[in-house]
Amino acid sequence: MRFRSAAILLLVSAAASGAGADDPNYTQDGKLKPPADYREWIFLSSSLDMSYRKLGGLMGHSMFDNVFVDPSSYREFVKTGTWPEKTRLVMEVRAATEKGSINEHGRFQSGDSMGLEVHIKDSARFAGGWAFFAFNGSEPAVQIPSGADCYSCHQQHGAVNTTFVQFYPTLLKIATEKKTLSPNYHP
């Protein structure tokens, strides 16, 4: 009997969260797992030292942001100009280095990833549709609270559906053609 009620509870909680028991993204207590294979996803763009937010302890270092999206959501964006449910966008941060090998000018990316953040669309789970997560190594992470400035800046300034498509050149062209740019967005 005890066995059976535990099984029913599990089924109920999986249904309530809108995810199957084998959902690869979340742990049973609702944390998001860092995507292990994002380096095999679609590359959207890199930016160097953009100064739209405070990076606390990392300030003073020169850094690249690399943005990737899972392949099936990318293909949907190419068709529709916007993101489907379960879209996962990753931002990876790496050091921008001047001195190394034959380099004389400019900066290249080096070393291990210094930060990994995910922006995920999952309306069954998150009020507002989207949620942010910041990871520490391979540990699953709790959602960044919805009052954080991540949400307000992305909402107010992201060109398509709270994402910064204005900085992903191939996608900006598609969104412009499909007329899916946010009314808030001014080039």
82 lies in the binding site for ligand HEC (CB under 6 A): no
Q: Of the candidates 155, 160, 159, which has an alpha carbon nearest to the alpha carbon of residue 127? A: 155
Cβ atoms of residues 128 and 152 within 8 Å: no
Least distance (Å) between residue 64 CB and ligand HEC: 9
Both tokens assigned to 157: 């300034």
In this chain, which of 58, 149, 173, 184 binds ligand HEC, going by CB under 6 A? 149
In this chain, which of 132, 161, 175, 181 binds ligand HEC, going by CB under 6 A? 132
Residue indicated by tokens 């009314």: 183
23 lies in the binding site for ligand HEC (CB under 6 A): no
Cβ atoms of residues 165 and 175 within 8 Å: yes
119 lies in the binding site for ligand HEC (CB under 6 A): yes
172 lies in the binding site for ligand HEC (CB under 6 A): no
Cβ atoms of residues 64 and 46 within 8 Å: yes
Amino acid at 74: Y
47 lies in the binding site for ligand HEC (CB under 6 A): yes
Least distance (Å) between residue 55 CB and ligand HEC: 10
Which residues sit at the interface with ligand HEC, rule CB under 6 A? 47, 50, 52-53, 65, 67, 89, 91, 117-119, 132, 134, 144, 148-150, 153-154, 163-164, 167
